[in-house]
Structure 1
Amino acid sequence: MTDPRDADFGTLSDLIRGHAAANPGGTAFVVGDERIDWADLDARLDAVAGALQARGVERGDRVAVCAGTSIAYASLFLATLRAGACIAPIAPSSTPTQIAAMVADSGAKLFFTDPSTVADPVAVPVLDLGDDAWIGSHAFTPVAVGPRDAFNIIYSSGTTGTPKGIVHDHAMRWQHIAAGWKLGYDRASVTLLSTPLYSNTTMASFLPGVAGGGTVVMMPKFDAAAYLALAAEHRMTHTMLVPVQYRRIMALPDFDSFDLSSTVCKFATSAPFPAALKADVLARWPGGLIEYFGMTEGGGLCVLIAHQHPDKLHTVGRPAPGHEMRVLGDDGRELPPGEVGEIVGHSTATMRGYHNQPGKTAEAQWIAPDGRVFMRTGDVGRIDADGFLTLMDRKKDMIISGGFNIYPSDLEAVLAEHPAVVEAAVVGVPSDDWGETPVAFVVLREAADVKAWANERLGKTQRLHAVEVVDALPRSAIGKVLKRELRDGWAAA
């Protein structure tokens, strides 16, 4: 039998079928007290896919789901793919109006929810994900799926406006799966995930974990102490965490008491990962540490293999094989190494486009002189002489004060050095004198005059106009600081 790892293309559904035959009693998923083995998972996928077909779902159709993490959710996700359809996972944290708008935009034939979902009325049947009565007993008719068939529609976070549907096809997802085999995802692997299943961050480890045929342990809600207990109990080998989760885990006083010696590799993405925090993880947590920088839309991907490059922890690494990153000036021309500009990336692992929004798709692209399409990341950074990319900030977050460019990350790095500062975020606010001026929002361990301390260490054009002490920084479900909320709150006050 041909090893699927040698194939140019395959499907996740076929891989699951193979795991069920080779390792029927092996545990596939664990969520809380629930678990399911590979044989039962494969049979459930047939039953759910058959039920979807009985309700009119055909190859190329869409199925939407908005719910918390569960085995039923993971099964629906995979069964939708088995039926040849495209899954559209939606964040329960979205507003009721946004949820209904995303369901409509996806063109879903069915919409699955659980009690956590609060949505405006939709024009398609709504089914309770937690009630298996809808499944019934229906024969499943196998469906052939090709590389260009849609795999999923992932909706952007919506933190900058109306969420856009990002369409990935099976070919792009197969590339992610194939990359996972090189990182040790196999039938002996145990993947621990604590971010939600609607997030592309989660998919970066969920899909390789399932494809490898090991065990995937999922947490419906993240808690640092509970995470470490699960990691030790299940002998976790692989995990994906966002930087704020690493910070909370490493800050636990009893972190060193947990046995994490089974760890093969830890991954991080989705938000800035401070160099000092990376160093702490490397020093105290066994196994490798790999940071990814890229977009849900695809394009270029940078990879920092932190345990191999401890002198480059301030960067997000170099382009992955087959990926290319460039830095553009304001005139749209490529800049040389060391110059700061907008980052664009190219690879074959790129979205098909924004669903129903060809204009937005075109806006997100930069066409190189040779005709190749690069995706605009919206981030500002520079590439050093060794090819490593250093991020400065989101382009929209850059502050222009008195004609000078101020990068919030530079100011946040200074604030982080203050012993009383737990975390900080800097945003630009309107100024009659300067156009914009920087304001810092900080979480403190104890009272301190952070503004005076920081301004003594900042350049004249960088000095903080104000420092606001807050209990916590507003964050998305995957840990991104919601700077727009900080700006809006300042403006309202």
Structure 2
Amino acid sequence: MQELFAHDFGVIADLVRHHAEQTPDHLALVDPDRTLTYAQLDTLMDRIAASLQRDGFEAGDAIAICGLMTAPYAAVFLGALRAGVVVAPLAPGSTPPSIVKMLADADAKLLFWDASATDTLALAKTPRVGLDGGLEAWLVPEGTKPARVVPEPSWPFNIIYSSGTTGEPKGIVQPHGMRWGHVRRGATYQYGGPEGVTLLSTPLYSNTTLVVFFPTITWGGTAVLMPKFDAGGYLKLAEKHRVTHTMLVPVQYQRLMAHPDFDRYDLSSFKYKFSTSAPFGAALKADVLKRWPGGLVEFYGMTEGGGTCILEAHLHPTKLHTVGKPADNHDIRLIDDNGVEVARGEAGEVVGHSPIMMTGYHGQPEKTRDAEWYDPAGKRFIRTGDVGRFDEDGFLTLFDRKKDMVISGGFNIYPSDLEAVLRKHEAVFDAAVVGVPSEQWGETPVAFVVRQPGATVDAETLLQWTNDQVGKTQRLAGLQWIDELPRSAIGKVLKRELRDQYAKK
């Protein structure tokens, strides 16, 4: 099968057909209510593509999908690609005004949805088709074949929105060539063949999920879809399906490793576990390596693409505090506030260039330019907004987001450093540090902390303990208990909400 991926570019929808011909009865998609074999998926993709063409869709036109991760959702995504149609997957947890803006921005002519998005779509006027009732009536008869469409690498594949709950939506246009790069990387991590089973519990509107979903399907594996994550349910599915691969964000690893029955489950089938999207603490990585069979791989990068660092944690146990080295053919550099590359060993903003890069932000050329940096030779890089430093072995250590860095009395304070200290205390389950206004210092750091179950330490004692562990300029000005840190659907802490919460108090 390796020869199918040897080319610089290939068509993902064609690979589904290849598997339908070679292994028609092998399961492609599994969700709590249904399964689809490769033959069934291929047939359904044909009907979806032909139905879109019947409705006047041409290559480059867009649809939107808003709902939970299910087999019909995945089939619509893949079927649209077969017609050359661009997919804009939208978060069902978005606000109704944001959904309207995203639909308009994508110029989506049709919206596929399910009941989970009912309230979200209250203001949407786009014509729609129900994924959980109405899809079959919309489809052309079985056996109908769509007109063949062969995409070019530069054609838009999907539009991923970076701001689905608050703020102005920003659509990241990823081309077919970028997705093909993700698919080819599948060879490194042994997706190949029908023995591969990937368990996915992050949403399909997230690039986090898609970078594993498409390699699974194109390499002929089975994707087990978990629409809503819970640690106990995940462990049951992993054991039942003899899962070999998974993508999880760090907070999911945290909840799984803390589950009282974790060590009772048979997870010996795992080959690789992946993580991305949020900071992954070294202690948590070490716990995963100790107790969960299979390799652990952390990807550091952006939905926008550019540069990716990869940490194969099982091979580099002394580098768990880093995000690894640049991937092959990925050029990652560090720049200062003036856009000048820093000297080796110095910290700077991470910028990256690779074959896997977004076309730009849809319809927003100014924001696209703001996200780009060009070296003196004119080479295009994507800015990450993250501050980091390479060590002597070429591994990248991240400090923080530039926008999250606290400047107190002229000193730069990285919240991640303080969060790491807090997590060392036995009473701390989770923690986040944000900068708040200070008349004396301009800004000062405060912490929001989730207690370990049963912990009784008071806030003042923990505050003093933390400040005894850090330098004078890093000391916390305050510490508040919180039941749970606010997070996005892919596990990123929403620090803006914490700042707002502090300001209200």
TM over 0.5: yes
Pick one of 315, 327, 336 that aligns with 1:308: 315
Pick one of 418, 434, 439 that aligns with 1:427: 434
Would the alpha carbon gap of residues 198 and 2 (structure 1) be closer, same or farther in structure 2, given more than 3 Å must change? Answer: closer
Q: Distance in 2 between matches of 1:409 and 1:475?
A: 16
**Aligned AA (1:97):** P
2:196 and 2:221 in contact (8 A); partners too: yes
Alpha-carbon shift at residue 325 of structure 1 (Å): 1.1
Match of 2:499 in 1: 487
Alpha-carbon shift at residue 36 of structure 1 (Å): 0.9
2:98 and 2:166 in contact (8 A); partners too: no
Pick one of 164, 179, 188 that aligns with 1:182: 188
Match of 1:349 in 2: 356
Q: Distance in 1 between matches of 2:115 and 2:481?
A: 35
Q: Distance in 2 between matches of 1:157 and 1:242?
A: 18
2:95 and 2:165 in contact (8 A); partners too: no
Pick one of 454, 477, 480 that aligns with 2:489: 477
Alpha-carbon shift at residue 134 of structure 1 (Å): 1.1
1:242 and 1:270 in contact (8 A); partners too: yes
Would the alpha carbon gap of residues 302 and 154 (structure 1) be closer, same or farther in structure 2, given more than 3 Å must change? Answer: same
**Aligned AA (2:248):** L
Per-residue CA distance 1:211-232 (angstroms, 9 max, x = gap): 1111110100001111111111
**Aligned AA (2:445):** P
2:96 and 2:124 in contact (8 A); partners too: no
Q: Distance in 1 between matches of 2:474 and 2:50?
A: 61
Alpha-carbon shift at residue 120 of structure 1 (Å): 4.4
**Aligned AA (2:58):** E
SS at match of 1:102: helix
Match of 2:115 in 1: 115
Q: Does 1:462 align with 2:474?
A: yes
Match of 2:414 in 1: 407
Q: Does 1:135 align with 2:142?
A: no
| TM-score (normalised: structure 2) | 0.96
Alpha-carbon shift at residue 64 of structure 1 (Å): 0.7
Q: Does 1:275 align with 2:282?
A: yes
Alpha-carbon shift at residue 122 of structure 1 (Å): 3.5
SS at match of 2:205: coil
Per-residue CA distance 1:282-317 (angstroms, 9 max, x = gap): 111111010000000000100001111101000000
Alpha-carbon shift at residue 190 of structure 1 (Å): 0.4
Equivalences for 1:354-365 in 2 at 5 Å?
354-365=361-372
1:381 and 1:393 in contact (8 A); partners too: yes
Q: Distance in 1 between matches of 2:2 and 2:439?
A: 69
Alpha-carbon shift at residue 123 of structure 1 (Å): 4.5
Pick one of 399, 404, 408 that aligns with 1:392: 399
**Aligned AA (1:59):** A
Q: Distance in 2 between matches of 1:120 and 1:161?
A: 18
Equivalences for 1:70-469 in 2 at 5 Å?
70-117=70-117, 118-130=120-132, 131=134, 132-137=136-141, 139-158=145-164, 161-187=167-193, 188-445=195-452, 446-448=455-457, 449-469=461-481
Q: Distance in 1 between matches of 2:259 and 2:289?
A: 16
Q: Distance in 2 between matches of 1:478 and 1:148?
A: 28
Q: Distance in 1 between matches of 2:303 and 2:166?
A: 15
| Identical pairs, percent | 58
1:97 and 1:120 in contact (8 A); partners too: no
Per-residue CA distance 1:152-210 (angstroms, 9 max, x = gap): 00110356731210011111111110011221112220011000010000011101001
Q: Distance in 1 between matches of 2:472 and 2:165?
A: 32
Equivalences for 1:7-86 in 2 at 5 Å?
7-86=7-86
SS at match of 1:222: coil
Q: Distance in 2 between matches of 1:370 and 1:142?
A: 40
Report how many residues are paired: 493
**Aligned AA (1:486):** L
**Aligned AA (1:142):** R
**Aligned AA (1:261):** S
Q: Distance in 2 between matches of 1:215 and 1:348?
A: 27
2:29 and 2:71 in contact (8 A); partners too: yes
